[in-house]
Structure 1
């Protein structure tokens, strides 16, 4: 049964954030709230956690995982950014966007799109996510929590679907699913792949 931790969305309790980080650093998989609904996450180097998330979501090897990052300073370590892309990210982040970027050489191959060598990157404005990443001090491997036949609005929805499949679930109240806007910058131009919660007028 997954451990349930209730964390305040605007003023996350550091003691509880540390509990979540301890689970991640010991190889765990978590379900956590973001500014676009719940997500599944595991530590960057956790191959077993990656496979567990793939099994929960029934994902193929070609599915892009997203690196959930604290701020722009982290992105350059994992993805290639030209000046135009950097300016765009600086203008609209943090927020409900996922950017597809060409991966830097040091990114583990298991995280990359098999053919394109790209990676998804997010910087969430959610208070719990920011606190978690600040304490973890590295990006989180992440995918949205989407399961056929389930809708995730309340913590009971998440527990009902995942209680025996993840190690910890963060509860911070009502968290409706609204997918991120996905923008592909890997070709040098901004291409909107999916319109979601992020305002696309900011791209103009």
Structure 2
């Protein structure tokens, strides 16, 4: 049975997020609000948690999991970033964007794309997600909480509890958040490629 932590969306209670972080440290999956929609998080160094994330969503190993990072410096530790990519990332983060980048050796093979060796990276702006990453002390694996066979992400903490209580260690209720997923941009080619149009407007980054 998942635990439910009700927190203030702008000033989440540290005591409750530390409890959620402890459940992550124990290998649990935790659903949290972000600046795009609710997502499910797990520790990067936990193989069983990565497998559980994919099972919960019905995803195979070719689907990119995303690393939620605290800042640009942390991105550079887990993804290879050149000067042009860095300028784009600096303009876009934090915010509702996911960038596909070449993974460094710090990213476990089971997390990166099996053939391309790439990883999704983002820096969320939602206080709940950002504070939870801080308490974890390292990037967290994530995937948007879209039920298997459906198209829209979930946006209500109680519905998430009702549907996934047996698969999650906790749900952090920070109220409703946007129902649009992140905009996904592939930065591994010669020019940035928008793979999915979501909450982030590519024109603000100078992209068509």
Query: Smaller-chain TM-score range?
Result: over 0.9
| TM-score normalised by the chain length of structure 1 | 0.96
Report the alpha carbon displacement of residue 63 of structure 1 after superposing the two structures with TM.
1.1
Counterpart contact for 1:79–1:104, Cα < 8 Å: yes
Counterpart contact for 2:38–2:153, Cα < 8 Å: no
Q: Unaligned regions of 5+ residues in structure 1, if any?
A: none
Using the alignment, how far apart are the partners of 1:188 and 1:77 within structure 2? Answer: 22
Using the alignment, how far apart are the partners of 1:176 and 1:158 within structure 2? Answer: 15
Query: Which deviations, in whole Å up to 9, do the C-alpha atoms of 1:98-144 show, x marking residues without a partner?
Result: 00001112321001111111000010000011111111110001100
- Aligned counterpart in structure 1 of residue 185 of structure 2, from 183, 200, 203: 183
3-state secondary structure, aligned to 1:10: coil
Pick which of 84-93 and 145-154 moved more.
Answer: 145-154
The equivalent of 1:68 in structure 2 is 68
The equivalent of 1:157 in structure 2 is 159
C-alpha distance 151-35 of structure 1, shift in aligned 2 (>3 A) = closer
| TM-score normalised by the chain length of structure 2 | 0.94
Structure 2 counterparts to residues 90-105 of structure 1, below 5 A: 90-105=90-105
The equivalent of 1:195 in structure 2 is 197
C-alpha distance 177-23 of structure 1, shift in aligned 2 (>3 A) = same
The equivalent of 2:57 in structure 1 is 57
Using the alignment, how far apart are the partners of 2:60 and 2:134 within structure 1? Answer: 30
3-state secondary structure, aligned to 2:110: helix
3-state secondary structure, aligned to 1:193: strand
Structure 2 counterparts to residues 5-154 of structure 1, below 5 A: 5-147=5-147, 148-149=149-150, 152-154=154-156
3-state secondary structure, aligned to 2:116: coil
Query: Which deviations, in whole Å up to 9, do the C-alpha atoms of 1:133-167 show, x marking residues without a partner?
Result: 11111000110001135752222221121111111
Using the alignment, how far apart are the partners of 2:172 and 2:98 within structure 1? Answer: 22
Using the alignment, how far apart are the partners of 1:110 and 1:51 within structure 2? Answer: 9
Return structure 1 stretches of 4+ with deviation > 6 angstroms. none
Q: Unaligned regions of 5+ residues in structure 2, if any?
A: none
Report the alpha carbon displacement of residue 174 of structure 1 after superposing the two structures with TM.
1.4
Using the alignment, how far apart are the partners of 2:30 and 2:84 within structure 1? Answer: 34
